Every structure is written in C-alpha cells, then in structure tokens.
C-alpha cells in the first residue's frame, strides 16, 4: 500500500460512456480525462447523470457502450470490489454508513488492504491479530486527518450529519485510494463544516497526490478546488474546461438558468 501513495496515480479515462435505463438515456457519450493528481469536478443540474457516472466508475452500473480505463486497466467489466482493490474509493450522495462505531466503518475501508480470512480470524491467529492492530492504527490516523479522532469509538448513529459525511470520507480514504470519487461531499453542511471539508480535500490532494473526481452543487467549492470541470446536462457533456472558462460558457448558463422566455427549450 505504500507504493500506492508514493507513485503518481494513474490516468482515469472515461470514453463515450452511454448508460440507458429502460429507454431513458442517463448518460450519452460522456468523455473526460482525470489527469493524475488533479481535482476534476463534474457539475450539472439535478438529473444530469452525475451520480450515474459515479456508479459507472465504481462498477455499480454497467454502461451500454464506452470504456473507463484506469492507467490502462479496463474498469467497466470489473465487479465493484475489484475496482475498489485497484484503489478507486467513493462516497455516496446519501450517507451510506454501516452500524457500529466510526472505527468499525473505517476498518471496513481497510478490507481490501487486509488479508485475514474466516479461519484465521475465528482462531485469532497471531498474524490476523497483528494485521488488525496495524490497520486499526492507520484507521485512527485517518480519523485524525479528517477531524474524527475524538469520535473514533462512537457509534456512527450518534454522530451529527456533518460528522457522518466525514465518516464516509474517512472510510473512503482508508482504502488508500489513488482515485477518490466524492459525491456531494458538502451537501447539507453548514458553512464551517463546508470550509473544513474543503480544507481536508485540499490537504489530501497536496499531501497524498491522489486524483479526485468531485460532484458538487456548491459552485464556490468547485471553483476553489477544481482544476478541470465537466458540465453535464441530461446525460450529455455540454462544456469542458477550467472553472473560469466553464463559468462563462453560454451553454452552461443556459443549462443552469434556462434560456430567455422566447427560447423554445424553456417550454
């Protein structure tokens, strides 16, 4: 796992991905490239296909056409757990934590990096016990990094909304990811929590050099963090570029604000 963090993350390349749900085209020929170590934002109005795109990247949804490659490895044929093992971690728009404490959740994030099987764990073989201790120490470190240190042994159900969102982030980080997919990491947070999360993401990128794909409605955060932005509307990519370029793009303005009252699209 150490070699993962020292070498630069591989390029994540999304090519012409199309997803259809029974006649509805959720993604229509979406392409973008996430440069190693960059923050790539995926924005668009509700229903634009951002979360579907994440589901394709993490293997939960198989595209009808197109490819996703991570440093040359094709991801679209792999099961979610294999993609996770390659170092792609994600958070969910709606918090999806499991029962138990923060520690339990973070240790779940260590699953792909640890080996102890049923027999070794049941018999509490020294190797399994040692492995668990090492991973617990790393999980505690990551909890500290994300501001959860004092909640490490607290049941997740007792945490505030913002803290639960942070548990998801920390759990994803426990995979020691090379590519981190963040689905609305600050949705529903207050200003202070937003600032803190933005700070953490910035630190991660600087400290660990991982690539981040970010879906977010908070434009302030997107403009501050992102190197590149891809804008989706009704499953189609409509713009591409740096935050500043995208902000001035007339197509983007149309998608977000609608056309003038005379435009036929508004009807």
**Cβ closest to other proteins, residue 123 vs residue 192:** 123
Query: Alpha carbon of 92 to those of 1, 180, 218: distances in Å?
Result: 24, 12, 16
Nearest to 29 by CA among 81, 70, 65: 65
Nearest to 53 by CA among 30, 80, 83: 30
Closest approach of Cβ 74 to other proteins, in Å? 18
Q: What is the distance of C-alpha 42 from the center of its chain?
A: 11
Residue 152 in tokens: 């490490």
Contact set with other proteins (CB under 8 A): 58-60, 79-81, 83-85, 89-90, 92, 96-101, 103-104, 107-114, 116-118, 121-124, 128, 132, 136, 153-155, 171, 175
**Cβ closest to other proteins, residue 8 vs residue 157:** 157
* Cα dihedral 34, 165, 87, 52 sign: negative
Residue 88: phi and psi, rounded to 5, are -110, 115
Q: What is the distance of C-alpha 26 from the center of its chain?
A: 19
**Cβ closest to other proteins, residue 98 vs residue 242:** 98
**Cβ closest to other proteins, residue 57 vs residue 231:** 57
Burial of 264 (0-12, 13-18, 19+ CB in 10 A): exposed
- By the 8 A CB rule, do 105 and 146 touch? no
Nearest to 96 by CA among 85, 88, 108: 108
Closest approach of Cβ 143 to other proteins, in Å? 12
Closest approach of Cβ 206 to other proteins, in Å? 25
Closest approach of Cβ 235 to other proteins, in Å? 21
**Cβ closest to other proteins, residue 95 vs residue 145:** 95
Closest approach of Cβ 151 to other proteins, in Å? 9
**Cβ closest to other proteins, residue 139 vs residue 246:** 139
Closest approach of Cβ 267 to other proteins, in Å? 37
**Cβ closest to other proteins, residue 152 vs residue 234:** 152
Closest approach of Cβ 60 to other proteins, in Å? 6
| CA–CA distance, 181 with 130 (Å, rounded to integer) | 30
Burial of 122 (0-12, 13-18, 19+ CB in 10 A): exposed
């Amino acid at each position: 796992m150490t070699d993962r963090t020292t070498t630069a993350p591989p390029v994540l390349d999304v090519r012409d991905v199309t997803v259809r749900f029974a006649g509805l085209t959720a993604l229509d020929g979406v392409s973008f490239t996430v440069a190693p170590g960059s923050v790539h934002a995926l924005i668009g109005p509700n229903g634009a296909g951002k979360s579907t795109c994440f589901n394709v990247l993490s293997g939960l949804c198989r595209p009808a056409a197109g490819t996703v490659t991570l440093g040359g490895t094709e991801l679209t044929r792999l099961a979610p757990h294999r993609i996770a093992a390659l170092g792609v971690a994600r958070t969910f728009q709606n918090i999806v934590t499991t029962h138990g404490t923060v520690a339990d959740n973070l240790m779940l994030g260590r699953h792909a990096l640890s080996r102890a099987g049923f027999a070794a764990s049941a018999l509490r073989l020294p190797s399994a016990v040692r492995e668990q201790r090492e991973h617990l120490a790393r999980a505690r470190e990551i909890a500290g990094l994300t501001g959860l240190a004092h909640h490490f042994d607290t049941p997740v159900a007792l945490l505030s909304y913002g803290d639960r969102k942070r548990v998801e982030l920390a759990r994803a980080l426990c995979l020691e990811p090379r590519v981190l997919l963040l689905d609305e990491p600050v949705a529903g947070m207050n200003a202070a929590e937003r600032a803190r999360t933005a700070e953490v993401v910035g630190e991660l990128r600087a400290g660990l050099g991982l690539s981040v794909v970010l879906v977010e409605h908070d434009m302030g955060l997107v403009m501050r963090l992102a190197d590149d932005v891809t804008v989706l509307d009704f499953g189609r990519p409509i713009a591409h570029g740096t935050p500043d370029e995208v902000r001035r793009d007339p197509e983007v303005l149309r998608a977000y604000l609608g056309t003038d009252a005379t435009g036929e699209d508004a009807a």
